[in-house]
Amino acid sequence: MIVQPLALVVHELLINAAVHRSLSAPSGRLHIHWQEVPGQGGFKLRWEETGGRTPASDRQPGFGTAMVGAMIEKQLLGKVEREWSDDGLVVDILVPIES
Protein backbone atom coordinates (compact mmCIF):
# COMPACT_ATOMS: atom_id res chain seq x y z
CA MET A 1 0.00 0.00 0.00
CA ILE A 2 1.38 3.40 -0.97
CA VAL A 3 -1.09 5.79 0.67
CA GLN A 4 0.43 6.06 4.15
CA PRO A 5 4.10 6.51 3.13
CA LEU A 6 3.15 8.95 0.38
CA ALA A 7 0.98 10.95 2.81
CA LEU A 8 3.93 11.21 5.23
CA VAL A 9 6.19 12.43 2.41
CA VAL A 10 3.70 15.09 1.26
CA HIS A 11 3.17 16.19 4.87
CA GLU A 12 6.94 16.56 5.41
CA LEU A 13 7.41 18.56 2.20
CA LEU A 14 4.43 20.77 3.03
CA ILE A 15 5.56 21.52 6.59
CA ASN A 16 9.07 22.40 5.39
CA ALA A 17 7.65 24.64 2.65
CA ALA A 18 5.46 26.44 5.19
CA VAL A 19 8.17 26.90 7.82
CA HIS A 20 11.36 27.32 5.80
CA ARG A 21 10.70 27.80 2.11
CA SER A 22 8.16 28.95 -0.47
CA LEU A 23 5.03 29.06 1.67
CA SER A 24 6.82 31.07 4.36
CA ALA A 25 6.94 34.15 2.10
CA PRO A 26 4.05 36.14 0.57
CA SER A 27 5.56 35.78 -2.91
CA GLY A 28 6.09 32.02 -2.56
CA ARG A 29 4.29 29.51 -4.72
CA LEU A 30 3.87 25.75 -4.70
CA HIS A 31 2.94 23.69 -7.77
CA ILE A 32 2.32 19.96 -7.57
CA HIS A 33 2.00 17.89 -10.73
CA TRP A 34 1.68 14.18 -11.18
CA GLN A 35 1.42 11.90 -14.16
CA GLU A 36 1.27 8.23 -14.97
CA VAL A 37 4.52 6.64 -16.14
CA PRO A 38 3.52 4.67 -19.26
CA GLY A 39 5.18 1.32 -19.73
CA GLN A 40 6.64 1.26 -16.21
CA GLY A 41 3.53 1.42 -14.08
CA GLY A 42 3.35 3.88 -11.27
CA PHE A 43 3.52 7.64 -11.37
CA LYS A 44 5.83 10.62 -11.16
CA LEU A 45 5.07 13.46 -8.77
CA ARG A 46 6.79 16.83 -9.23
CA TRP A 47 6.87 19.26 -6.29
CA GLU A 48 7.96 22.77 -7.36
CA GLU A 49 8.50 25.62 -4.93
CA THR A 50 9.30 29.14 -6.13
CA GLY A 51 9.47 32.64 -4.74
CA GLY A 52 10.29 31.75 -1.17
CA ARG A 53 13.33 32.42 0.93
CA THR A 54 16.71 31.82 -0.67
CA PRO A 55 18.05 28.54 0.67
CA ALA A 56 21.16 28.70 2.83
CA SER A 57 24.30 27.72 0.94
CA ASP A 58 25.49 25.61 3.88
CA ARG A 59 22.25 23.66 4.39
CA GLN A 60 22.66 20.09 5.56
CA PRO A 61 20.23 17.23 4.99
CA GLY A 62 18.07 16.72 8.06
CA PHE A 63 15.55 14.27 9.42
CA GLY A 64 12.98 15.16 6.77
CA THR A 65 15.36 14.37 3.92
CA ALA A 66 16.20 11.01 5.49
CA MET A 67 12.53 10.22 6.13
CA VAL A 68 11.46 11.12 2.57
CA GLY A 69 14.27 9.00 1.17
CA ALA A 70 13.36 6.05 3.40
CA MET A 71 9.66 6.21 2.56
CA ILE A 72 10.09 6.53 -1.19
CA GLU A 73 13.28 4.60 -1.89
CA LYS A 74 13.19 1.86 0.72
CA GLN A 75 9.50 1.33 1.44
CA LEU A 76 8.01 2.08 -1.98
CA LEU A 77 11.11 1.12 -4.03
CA GLY A 78 10.93 4.44 -5.86
CA LYS A 79 13.32 7.31 -6.54
CA VAL A 80 13.65 10.85 -5.18
CA GLU A 81 15.61 13.64 -6.86
CA ARG A 82 15.99 17.14 -5.43
CA GLU A 83 17.18 20.21 -7.29
CA TRP A 84 17.82 23.47 -5.44
CA SER A 85 18.06 26.83 -7.16
CA ASP A 86 18.18 30.41 -5.92
CA ASP A 87 14.44 30.59 -6.52
CA GLY A 88 13.33 27.38 -4.86
CA LEU A 89 13.22 23.63 -4.82
CA VAL A 90 12.08 20.94 -7.26
CA VAL A 91 11.52 17.42 -5.98
CA ASP A 92 10.81 14.63 -8.44
CA ILE A 93 9.37 11.45 -6.95
CA LEU A 94 8.92 8.28 -8.97
CA VAL A 95 6.70 5.62 -7.40
CA PRO A 96 6.36 2.26 -9.12
CA ILE A 97 3.15 0.29 -8.71
CA GLU A 98 3.26 -3.47 -9.04
CA SER A 99 0.67 -4.97 -11.34
Residues of the domain holding 46: 3-95
Terminal alpha carbon distance of the chain: 12
- pTM of model > 0.85: yes
Per-residue pLDDT of the chain (99 residues; tens, 9 = 90+): 889 999 999 999 999 999 888 988 899 999 999 999 988 789 999 999 998 877 666 777 788 889 999 999 999 999 999 998 878 899 999 999 874
- Count of domains forming the chain: 1
Nearest one of 31, 26, 37, 36 to 13, comparing CA atoms: 31
CATH code of residue 80: 3.30.565.10
